[in-house]
Amino acid sequence: MVKSSILYPHSSFLNLPDLWDLYVGPVSTFSINTTVQPTPIPSSSLIPPPSLYYPSFPTGQQVPLQSKNESWSFPSTFWYGVAGASYQIEGAVKAEGRGPSIWDVLSHRVPDYVITNETGDVADNNYYQYKEDIARIAALGIKTYSFSLSWSRILPFGKGPVNEQALLHYDDLIDTCLSYGVTPMVTLYHWDLPLFLQNTYGGWLSEDIVADYTEYARIVFTRWSSKVHYWFTVNEPIVFCGFYPLPENYFKATSVPKKQQPYSCGHNVLLAHSAAYRLGKSINDSLSISFKNNGGYKIQRTDSAADAEAVQRAWDFNEGWFANPTFINGDYPSNLKTYVETFLTPFTQDQKAQINGSCDIFAHDAYTSDFIMAPDSGIAACVSNSSNALYPGCYNTTKLYANNYWAMGPASDPGSPWLYKATDWVPAFLHYMQDTWKPKGGVAITEFGMSEPYEELRTDLASILIDPLRSAYYRDYLSAILIALSEGVNVVGTLAWSIYDNMEWSQGYSVKFGIQFVNLTTQERFFKASAFEYVNMFNVYQDK
């Protein structure tokens, strides 16, 4: 157990157990609480469902012919894998010296922040069962595993004392990947900010975080740069900066106005990401280092000039927020800059130079698309009215075509209302990313997936494992990538979200994205049909 006498802002001197007891409280544990070796995977669990491969018996089923398109192919260098994130899957939140993160507080202390009142205390028990998890994806034929590190496991206070037990754990996780021929991809930060940093200076709202994050990056790059080639600095800053302002009375108060907090966060993220990028390259210049953007294709809903302007504003306030500085000029896109320059200190020329060019690939968590249109009151009226609900972006979104009748595609689970199956727009989206930001290392879809509607309500295993919408999503999405590849877009890889059902943040375990089902009572894992659909597309189309 790591202990420290670092001065904590709300008390006198606290060690790590005090920090847990005072700000989080009791946590749950699971019966498997030591690292376990994988058990042999039954061959029966690796038999694909009949919709993909037809068994010799029984016979008689008739299905439409689905022939291979001989003009499509994934290059032999194209990587495909699955992804997970530390707080969502690891569990063991208080074990072996891990310090609390803001999500331990949000899930334990803030009423209804997680609608199911569930926590990540146990999650998928990946901290102890990671060997089994890696063995299972390898048996399926998946050659890439993307996971995030728990910052507060490695540095329980976010800075200061290093927890050697955590480093040894991730040593073995990485070595286990390599022993199975699985390429590890590592994300430094996937939303689980060390609580101590939030309560010391406001977390991402303070530029103080840049130095602490960079030191954290130095520790992990130094430790694993010889074994891990692909790195992602931060996951979806648009989302985690949008968590601000955090619920009042559970964290240190801040003087940053609420409306400005997401953009103050984003400013510091760009500085921290780019500092980590430059540091990583100085340690090993062959590394691939990027951050993971997120959003979706912005579809102009009508041919009006107002809707065209709204589309550009939507790009500027979403992907462009972080992509323009890193891929184009070190600074914000024009519509966003007009807003933030009223309260943010502009980047210096040195900072712009540090930020510009600080991504090797365009990594995008690209799940869906949106129709974009101007606000009913008009863009000019919105921009001049800070009380407008759409301010400061001043664009509107919908999933319905302009007739307000047809949706762009099937809806996902009601717990993820932002997600519809919009795979028809994937080729256009991939072209847009390549043409707009011109990434030197190509485009990677670093998360994509579908929450099967009402999967939580299914009680028998057989009905859980057949996930037709998710299976169709992966088949059609990968077909769309094949179209884009055939048209010259340099797409280099995909990561399916997720390796298995997990703690989906504020939705708890009620929304399922996994290509594996996890029985949370026994921690048994089972492949779903979508896992085979995903892998089969590469079995059919990837060049050998």
What is the C-alpha separation between 455 and 467, in angstroms, rounded?
8
11 located within any domain = no
Q: How far apart are the first and last CA of the chain?
A: 48
Bridge partner residues of 189 (DSSP): 234
Helix, coil or strand: residue 197: helix
Please, are residues 360 and 440 in contact by the beta-carbon 8 Å criterion?
yes
In a domain, 341, yes or no: yes
Number of domains the chain contains:
1
- Please identify every residue annotated as catalytic: 236, 447
Inside any domain, residue 72: no
Q: Is the residue at 436 inside a domain?
A: yes
Q: Using only the alpha carbons of the chain, give its radius of gyration.
A: 23
- Sign of the torsion formed by the C-alpha atoms of 242, 247, 251 and 252: positive
**Element housing 364 (H / E):** strand 362-373
Closest CA to 436 of 341, 316, 544, 345: 316
Nearest 5°: CA angle at 417, between 411 and 420? Answer: 35
What does each C-alpha distance from 506 to 49, 67, 119, 325 come to in angstroms?
32, 42, 9, 30
CATH code: domain of residue 232: 3.20.20.80
Query: What b/e string do you get for 467-488 counting C-beta neighbours within 10 Å, with b at 16 or more?
Result: bebbbbbbbbbbbbbbbbbeee
Q: How far apart are CA 335 and CA 312, in angstroms?
A: 8
3-state secondary structure of 146: strand
Whether 67 maps to a domain, the answer reads: no
Which domain, by its residues, includes 121? 16-57+78-541
Q: Is residue 10 part of a domain?
A: no
Q: Any alpha helices (H) in 413-528, and if so which ranges?
A: 426-437, 461-465, 468-486
217 in Cβ contact with 280 (< 8 Å): yes
Task: Please report, in tens digits, the pLDDT of each residue of the chain (544 residues total).
Answer: 343 433 344 445 579 999 999 999 999 999 999 999 998 898 888 988 876 655 566 666 666 666 899 999 999 999 999 999 999 999 999 999 999 999 999 999 999 999 999 999 999 999 999 999 999 999 999 999 999 999 999 999 999 999 999 999 999 999 999 999 999 999 999 999 999 999 999 999 999 999 999 999 999 999 999 999 999 999 999 999 999 999 999 999 999 999 999 999 999 999 999 999 999 999 999 999 999 999 999 999 999 999 999 999 999 999 999 999 999 999 999 999 999 999 999 999 999 999 999 999 999 999 999 999 999 999 999 999 999 999 999 999 999 999 999 999 999 999 999 999 999 999 999 999 999 999 999 999 999 999 999 999 999 999 999 999 999 999 999 999 999 999 999 999 999 999 999 999 999 999 999 999 999 999 999 999 999 999 999 999 999 9
The β-bridge partners of 82 are 145, 496
Give the pLDDT confidence of 99-117 residue by residue, as tens digits.
Answer: 999 999 999 999 999 999 9
Residue 1, in any domain of the structure: no
Closest CA to 323 of 461, 468, 434: 434
In a domain, 495, yes or no: yes
Sign of CA dihedral 525, 526, 530, 532: positive
pLDDT tens digit string along 42-81?
888 898 887 665 556 666 666 666 689 999 999 999 999 9
Q: What is the pTM of this model?
A: 0.95
Tell me how crowded residue 121 is: count the other CB atoms within 10 A of its CB.
19
